[in-house]
Amino acid sequence: MTDLKPARILAVETSCDETACAIIENGRTLLSSVVASQMEIHARYGGVFPEVASRQHVLSITPVVAQALVQAHLTLKDIDALAVTQGPGLAGSLVVGMNMAKGLALGSGLPLVGVNHLEGHIYSAWVYDSPVRRGDAGEPVPPEPQFPLMALLVSGGHTELNLMTDHLTYKRLGSTLDDAAGEAFDKVARLLELGYPGGPAIQKTAEGGDSNRFHFPRAWLEGTWDFSFSGLKTSVLYEVRELRKKSISLPIPDLAASFQQAVIDVLFKKTINAAREFGAKEILVAGGVSANRPLRQIFKAQTEFPVHIPPLSLCTDNAAMIAAAGYQRYALGHVSGLEMDVLPTWPLS
């Protein structure tokens, strides 16, 4: 168990296209979480349009923060510290959340902690909904992830395997050499004309498909813990071209299912092998792609390692995860100064 000082953290997250604010107690208990999604706006462009994203954050940030406080039945006087996503992400988007958080810190005198968005994704696995919010009192508290922990981070911009030997301690074993897993989902969805965001669209379409119909390549990159998804994406492209050349109507569900299976096979096997090799006790999977149902199922079905995957609402971008990571940093005294700036390319380790 974490044995740190009790604290309520209010966090702000605006690194990409979700404007979010959440309040967490003691690093785990969710008191409120508000996410204003811009998905419908960006779907028109087939991806996130940075300038539009930052303008939309400006419109949403104040009501989102107000709503998070109302939802928790709290005021700023009940909060112990503030956290904000400092990076990585879109500079123009990060700045909006950063300015809001600095304004709140200046106005309230509360300490402010800058949080790495990727660290936030990892800490989403610590968060659970408060029994009061859920409307029941009897649910047991889900177990806290135990170290050493093998953490697979799979989002739209990142795919990496980290060994965590303690809180906030990451040894990056490998990462993608080209596309991130989520990026591959998005690109293949565009190729198959399934829309944006690609991950949920591919998952849904794949439900009616045969994952063994096409044998797309798996880049094992033996001897390393790195990943590569760009060859797989190109392979889907060539298959689509061949089918079109032969005037065969595209078996979209089979293509989606076969692609999805290829991604899952690599993510799953490499993570399990790394956990064995490095003596991890448990596995953690986080980031937008961890919302993928077949991926969740395959990890949960294996019984060798306890697996922590955040609830669906916390897999994609949210502020609860920033509050959870911010709590760990705040508890260790990592408070940032008001001169802190956004770090659009900040790596986790």
Q: Which residues bind to Zn ion, rule: CB under 5 A?
A: 155, 317
x/- letters, 163..182, toward ligand KG4 (CB under 6 A): -------------------x
Q: Shortest gap between Cβ of 207 and ligand KG4 (angstroms)?
A: 11
* Element counts in the chain: helices (H) and strands (E): 11, 11
Tokens of 273: 């092998």
Q: Which is nearer to ligand KG4, 145 or 157 (CB)?
A: 157
**282: partner contacted, choices ligand KG4, Zn ion, none (Cβ within 5-8 A by kind):** none
Contact partner at residue 11 from Zn ion, ligand KG4, none, CB < 5 to 8 Å by partner kind? none
Please tell me whether residue 288 binds ligand KG4 under the rule CB under 6 A. Answer: yes
Residue 65 contacts residue 19 (beta carbons within 8 Å): no
Residue 198 binds ligand KG4 (CB under 6 A): yes
Interface map 129-168 toward ligand KG4 (x if CB under 6 A)? --------------------------xxx-----------
- Residue 38 Cβ, how far from Zn ion at the closest point, in Å? 14
Distance CA 113, CA 217 (A): 43
Output the six-digit token pair for 111: 């300490």
- What residues form DSSP beta bridges with 20? 13, 35
Binders of ligand KG4 among residues 27 to 46 (CB under 6 A) are none
Among 199, 209, 253, 326, binds ligand KG4 (CB under 6 A): 199
> Minimum distance from CB of 319 to ligand KG4 (Å)?
12
Q: Please, what is the minimum distance in Å from the beta carbon of residue 198 to ligand KG4?
A: 5
Give the footprint of ligand KG4 on residues 218-277 (CB under 6 A): none
Q: Return the number of the residue (79 or 92) whose C-beta is nearest ligand KG4.
A: 92
Give the gyration radius of the chain's Cα atoms.
20
* CB-nearer residue toward Zn ion: 156 or 209: 156
How many angstroms separate the CA atoms of 229 and 202, rounded? 15
Burial class (CB in 10 A: 0-12, 13-18, 19+), 212: exposed
In whole angstroms, what separates CA 280 from the centre of its chain?
Answer: 21
Q: Which is nearer to ligand KG4, 129 or 317 (CB)?
A: 317
User: Residues with Cβ < 8 Å from 159, sequence gap 6 or more?
Assistant: 153, 175, 176, 180, 181, 182, 227, 229, 267, 289
Q: From the CB of 49, what's the least distance to ligand KG4, in Å?
A: 15
Distance CA 336, CA 11 (A): 14
CB of 154 to Zn ion, least distance (A): 10
CB of 21 to Zn ion, least distance (A): 16
Tell me which H or E stretch contains 320: helix 320-331
CA 162/CA 173 separation, integer angstroms: 6
Kindly give the pairing relationship between strand 81-87 and strand 112-116.
Answer: parallel
**CB 118 → ligand KG4: shortest distance, Å?**
8
What, of ligand KG4, Zn ion, none, does residue 292 touch, CB below 5 to 8 Å by kind? ligand KG4
Q: Does 316 bind ligand KG4 (CB under 6 A)?
A: yes
- Asked whether 165 and 173 are in contact (CB, 8 A), the reply is no
Residue 97 or 197 with smaller CB distance to ligand KG4: 197
The helix-helix angle for 252-277 and 293-301 (nearest 10°) equals 40
Residue with tokens 């303008």, as numbered in its chain: 55
Give me the helix-helix angle, 230-245 and 252-277, nearest 10°. Answer: 160
| Cβ-based nearer residue to ligand KG4, 119 or 317 | 317
35 or 105: CB nearest Zn ion: 35
Phi, psi of 172 (to 5 degrees): -75, 120
Instruction: Using CB under 6 A, list all residues that contact ligand KG4.
Output: 16, 155-157, 182-183, 185-186, 197-200, 203, 287-289, 291-292, 316-317
